[in-house]
Structure 1
Amino acid sequence: MILLTDSEDSDLAAKPDWPTKTTSKLRDFLSVFQYSQRALQLVWSTSRPLTWGLMLLTLIAGVMPALAAYLGQLIVDGVLAAINTYQQQGAVDYWPIMKIVALEGLVITTLAAAQRGLSAQQSLLKALMGQRVNVMILEKAQTLSLAQFEDSEFYDKLTRARREASTRPLALVNKTFSLIQNSIALASFAVLLVQFSPWALLVLFIAALPVFISEAKFSGDAFQLSRWRSPELRKQMYLETLLAREDSIKEVKLFGLGTLLLDRYKAIFNTLFSAEKRLIIRRDLWGFALGLLGTLAFYAAYAWIVVEAIQGLITLGEMTMYLLIFKQGQAAISTNLTAISGMYEDNLYLSNLYEYLEQPVETESGSAQLGPLPNDGIRFEAVSFTYPGANKPAIKRISLHLPPGQSLALVGENGSGKTTLIKLLTRLYRPDDGRILLDGLNLNEWDPQSLRERVGVIFQDFVRYQFLVGENLGAGDVSEFNNEARWQEAGRLGLADPFINQLNDQYHTQLGRWFKGGQELSGGQWQKIALGRAFMRSKADILVLDEPTAAMDAEAEAQIFEHFRSHARQRMVILISHRFSTVRMADNILLLRNGEIIEQGNHASLLAENGRYAELFHLQAKGYRLD
């Protein structure tokens, strides 16, 4: 009987796992190459002529080096033979040698032209591919939900996709063609080198393996470092925005935040750089150490070939050819293995792109364009909703009715659920419980485009487009984006027409400071532009104002709202405001707290109840009275 110690027993138990782990690592390594085919398809669909050109020139560039080496052998041996003939006969025919020299010159010229052609086509494809991939990323963004854009992990995916994905597909394809080119060259070299010794081919391959293993290992490390950096890079980008944008620099300067923010920016860089520096140093030290093995192998083969030539086993021309093709063959194998390692790295980065492009898209179902009760308006029936990742509901069992031709005001402290109701009404989110009806039909059954054409919303944080004045107005209705007559009508209805006519180019004035000749507007003027944008939607019978006049005084806001109501008599108007002097004009008022309706009615009835609404109204009114 043979007894095993505990350590020996554990070693034997561990051994069967080793092949499994190795196989798993190999499978993980190879699985990454699934994106190579997709990258090739992407390049092919971007430009078929350029792709065909790459293939043809790759073939030419692969064959020419071996042909040049063979012609070099013929030249050396021909020169030696001519020298002997000259010494013996005193004359020689130069024409045979000159023909080979001319032929080699033609081969070298063809190789140079192929390499130039490859470089030119790669540059053209790089520009086309960069545009193609960026468009794919932006098109995908248009299909994603608001919930995804409000998720920080989604932004990390977007950042990773945008950072290098526009260059990686072409880099992967270039490496693939480089692999093909060098493989063709190697096949050509092998035909010549095998005549010297089959063992020389094995030496070539083994000498290049250590560098390949090192590169593959560190490519994976670099990718993991890149993923880890994504959130920190987004913080850096945000700090850049704060330090270099006109809409934030005023406050940064006023509060003296520049040094603090810049120090944070530097600290993030230092953290990222220290990790990157460690990786670079390790990668290059290992690459140098393992590369020495390849150098030793080359010079061992060099000595072998020289000895063979001295012993007269090969001619001087053959020695020259074998040295040349051994050196070029070693470079080709090394390039191939490095290309495979690089392809592995490119595939890893392409996984970022496709991870983003394959984000699930919520299907916007519904095809209805009319409801069964055209005069019923909007109904919320026991609607509840909780934001993704939140611990408590944003709104709870909200029920309300807004018929056509009436106005509804939503009041309440920040976070009470007012804007959430608007997001649900516009189907940016869907309720968790209850239902929302428009003209007697559930919002989920409406055609998304038809629904959005019926709604005009101006949020408090409306976009200030760095476009022409008219285009800022036209953004309210994309179908009339360039209609100047509609611009002017919307500007008049939004009360923006008087100051627009005083601008240098009126409705053709560039707004913002980002582009040459741009003019900046005051906060109140921008809000009138936004109001005009709402009036661009001629088909909209639901108009929503989510505190869009916060930059105006109370009197101006009240005048704006009254003007808005008078031009929207047959429409449903929803107003969100903290000013009771404005909301008092609404037909119905809802007071929200913690996502629930605590009071509702018109201004007079709510004052008569003497509840929370009345308390807030009198508290605000007191601030306008002079004691």
Structure 2
Amino acid sequence: MSAPPQWDDGKHFLHRFFSVFRYSRRAIELVWTTSRSLTWGLGLLTLLAGVLPAVAAYLGQLIVDSVVQAMADYQTHGQVDYWPMLRFVLMECLVIVLISAAQRGLSAQQSLLRALLGQRVNEMILEKAQTLSLAQFEDSEFYDKLTRARREASVRPLALVNKTFGLIQNAISMLSFAFLLVQFSPWAILVLFLAALPVFIAEAKFSGDAFRLFRWRSPDTRMQMYLETVLAREDSIKEVKLFGLGKLFLQRYKDIFHKLYAEDRRLTLRRDGWGFALGLLGTLAFYGAYAWIVIETVQGLITLGQMTMYLMVFKQGQAAISASLTAISGMYEDNLYLSNLYEYLEQPVASDAGEATEGPDPSDGIRFEQVSFTYPGSQRPALQDISLNLKPGQSLALVGENGSGKTTLIKLLTRLYQPSSGRILLDGLDLNEWDPVRLRQRVGVIFQDFVRYQLLVGENLGAGDVEAFSDEARWQEAGELGLADPFIRELNKGYHTQLGRWFKGGQELSGGQWQKIALSRAFMRSAADILVLDEPTAAMDAEAEATIFEHFRQHTTQRMVILISHRFSTVRNADQIVLINAGRVVERGTHHELLALNGRYADLFHLQAKGYQLD
């Protein structure tokens, strides 16, 4: 990880400060499109809440002056007309009620918008994820962007809009207060602004420092989240307990926290220390104005009611200016965090060009022509000059050591990656010219690391064909083809049994049963004429494996089948066997042809057969 960010020396502060506000308009548009009615409500109540405090202050002056006048009338005439005082009291009471109602209305609408907007932003993040390539998900820097976007972006747009409306409200209040205060002295308005300015500058500067710290430590935050997952998930806790990793991982989790806490502590102390010191200027300014107004009152230049009003207006005006500048500082910070969201949402996406739904030569099947591929950020090619052809109705077995490039070849076939060089054709047409939806409809895949969905049994099968996701007849048909039906019927609720331990009543399966679920999932895609099985029976015993593949051969005679396996008893009946080593095809042929060749395949076959004989 790079060194921590250097704190801003202020040289380019103003440029950065104003440049980040470009996200404010987008945030307001986002809130507006989320709920126009609630946004209108926020605007109207903001206007009301901005004007009414000044009205209350003015009524306070009228109440005090009417009280003074009533006291003078009583001393002079011995009687008092209470109605003028009570009228102003009732009017101020009504204004206070309206202020309270406006504040409650703002709070309610903000809460509703927060829920709607949080969901909207999360949907945007997840929708964007569906358009990204596998390479982007396997990029650590991209994962940092995704982590930053998900952590803050769901709350920042509304926070920014709330501050924007709060700024408008305070601006209206300040104009109202200024109209009253200028009658006392224009200098009082200047004092209000100058007293609040130092705190604002400090807050804005430290907001930028906090954001740069947040971006810098994203990898540490992600590692802490990962360790938390490992220590608290059922699919990892077995090894953690067995290998005694709990203390080690928990200590690493604590160390990351203490490192992050130390950085937070340093920033917090600097931020609050400077905030307190500069905040004293505002306090001194208020009491200086307090003394000024008192002296003016004693000298008879203003009435007691005016003194009360000016003190209230000065105090509320100071609070409004401070709140406005704090809102601007907060908007600056929100804009910084929104840059994470839009940096993620604007991540470039490779175009899924291609509209073809059929090729010119269906009899040609799948063809690789001198295909090479290197993973992003790697110097060593994963595949080099791969050329092979699989005709309809034929089966192809890929064998080789782990890391030899077998699964990578499947990722290229399914267009999860693009070849670095060469091309792949289906039915005589380059894969890039195929409509991606149509292409993937033709392919049924079981990856070695298939997903174990925490869903119903039937939904685990239905995931293989989204168009038939809830089709119970298709569930059963696929379960029978994948040999999962017998054990599924023995479960508590059959195909409606909840799988996994995440939800109440969930039932866990054995590794072999999960693989039958995955195999059945591949059979859900009934329109697929290409079946890819990546170690589909690794968790099954030899007898179950033999049964599976005999059954499998009977039901895939019209399809192109690609099988990846380390068990030679599984691959020996394939029409074509390709041995891959270090990303290159080193041998190819039928099982008998490769044994006759007496090369690497024959060595591996005899070595494995000898192991079975020893058993």
* TM-score category, normalised to shorter length: over 0.9
* Aligned partner of 2:416 among 416, 425, 428: 428
Q: Which SS does the other structure have where 2:491 is aligned?
A: coil
Could you tell me which residue of structure 1 aligns to residue 72 of structure 2? 84
1:301-353 Cα deviation digits (max 9, x unpaired)? 00000000000000000000000000000000000000000000000000000
Could you tell me which residue of structure 2 aligns to residue 450 of structure 1? 438
Q: Answer whether contact 1:554 1:582 (CA < 8 A) is retained.
A: no
Matches within 5 A, 1:29-428: 29-428=17-416
- The unaligned stretches of length 5 or more in structure 1 are 1-20
CA distance in 1, matches of 2:549, 2:255: 48
Q: Answer whether contact 1:364 1:448 (CA < 8 A) is retained.
A: yes
Q: Answer whether contact 2:478 2:520 (CA < 8 A) is retained.
A: yes
Percent identity of paired positions between Structure 1 and Structure 2: 77
Q: Answer whether contact 2:393 2:560 (CA < 8 A) is retained.
A: yes
Cα offset, 1:222, TM superposition = 0.5
CA distance in 2, matches of 1:82, 1:433: 96
CA distance in 2, matches of 1:390, 1:242: 27
CA distance in 2, matches of 1:387, 1:546: 20
TM-score by length of 1: 0.96
Q: Which amino acid aligns with 1:603?
A: H
CA distance in 2, matches of 1:211, 1:431: 56
Q: Which SS does the other structure have where 1:129 is aligned?
A: helix
Q: Which SS does the other structure have where 1:383 is aligned?
A: strand
1:454-498 Cα deviation digits (max 9, x unpaired)? 000000100000000000000000000000000000000000000
1:207-261 Cα deviation digits (max 9, x unpaired)? 0001001100100011011112211111011111111111110111111111111
1:64-106 Cα deviation digits (max 9, x unpaired)? 0000000000000000000010111111111111111100000
* Aligned partner of 1:28 among 16, 25, 40: 16
Q: Which SS does the other structure have where 1:552 is aligned?
A: coil
* Aligned partner of 1:497 among 473, 485, 489: 485
Q: Which SS does the other structure have where 1:408 is aligned?
A: strand
CA distance in 1, matches of 2:11, 2:253: 43
CA distance in 2, matches of 1:159, 1:549: 35
Could you tell me which residue of structure 1 aligns to residue 470 of structure 2? 482
Could you tell me which residue of structure 1 aligns to residue 559 of structure 2? 571
Q: Which amino acid aligns with 1:77?
A: D
Q: Answer whether contact 1:460 1:549 (CA < 8 A) is retained.
A: no
Cα offset, 1:169, TM superposition = 0.3
Cα offset, 1:432, TM superposition = 1.3
Q: Which amino acid aligns with 1:391?
A: Q
CA distance in 1, matches of 2:359, 2:555: 24
* Aligned partner of 1:469 among 454, 457, 477: 457
Q: Answer whether contact 2:458 2:472 (CA < 8 A) is retained.
A: yes
1:401-454 Cα deviation digits (max 9, x unpaired)? 100111000000011110011000001111111111101111111010110000
CA distance in 1, matches of 2:568, 2:550: 14
CA distance in 1, matches of 2:69, 2:422: 98
Cα offset, 1:566, TM superposition = 1.2
Could you tell me which residue of structure 1 aligns to residue 600 of structure 2? 612
Q: Answer whether contact 2:13 2:205 (CA < 8 A) is retained.
A: no
Aligned-pair Cα RMSD in Å = 1.0
CA distance in 2, matches of 1:517, 1:399: 50
Cα offset, 1:262, TM superposition = 0.5
Q: Answer whether contact 1:565 1:573 (CA < 8 A) is retained.
A: no
Q: Which SS does the other structure have where 2:363 is aligned?
A: coil
Matches within 5 A, 1:514-553: 514-553=502-541
Could you tell me which residue of structure 1 aligns to residue 425 of structure 2? 437
- Aligned residue pairs, count: 607
Q: Answer whether contact 1:554 1:579 (CA < 8 A) is retained.
A: no
Q: Which amino acid aligns with 2:492?
A: N
Cα offset, 1:561, TM superposition = 1.9
CA distance in 1, matches of 2:51, 2:128: 42
